[in-house]
């Protein structure tokens, strides 16, 4: 894990961004009922939220070594929106599928960037 003074290599940064978005996507996947294909073992919303928060804190506190800057405000906004959708899952269905697709696409994009770096 990087310390606040240590720069993260581009491939590590993209991998951690992919991890973040994968966990956010998985949170929405769990509430939608489509989660069975990805599960190697049971996982809870609380575990995913904690892991996502830890990754978000790590990314926000570690400067990137090079490459384009990552907007921490966007990451925080996506995290908060995911948590709000999870909390409102029983009351609200609208917007869940499109935001879930958005998170999946970002997880895949950052994973590809990590592989290319």
**pLDDT tens per residue across span 102-112:** 899 999 999 99
For the chain, domain boundaries:
10-116
Q: What local confidence, expressed as pLDDT, does residue 87 receive?
A: 85
Residue whose tokens read 């003074």: 5
Poorest-pLDDT segment among 14-23, 61-70, 80-89: 61-70
pLDDT band at 3 (very low <50, low <70, confident <90, very high): very low
Which of 112, 108, 117, 111 has the alpha carbon at shortest distance from 11?
Answer: 117
| Cβ-count burial 26-39 (b if 16+ within 10 Å, e if not) | bbbbbbeeeeeeee
For the entire predicted model, the pTM comes to 0.69
């Amino acid at each position: 894990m990087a310390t606040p003074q240590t720069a993260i290599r581009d491939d590590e940064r993209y991998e951690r961004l992919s991890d973040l978005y994968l966990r956010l996507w998985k949170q929405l996947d769990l509430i939608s009922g489509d989660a069975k294909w990805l599960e190697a073992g049971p996982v809870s919303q609380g575990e995913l939220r904690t892991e996502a928060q830890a990754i978000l804190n790590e990314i926000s506190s570690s400067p990137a070594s090079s490459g384009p800057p990552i907007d921490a405000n966007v990451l925080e906004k996506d995290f908060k929106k995911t948590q709000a959708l999870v909390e409102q899952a029983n009351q609200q269905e609208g917007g869940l599928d499109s935001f879930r697709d958005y998170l999946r696409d970002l997880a895949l994009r950052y994973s590809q960037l990590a592989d290319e770096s």
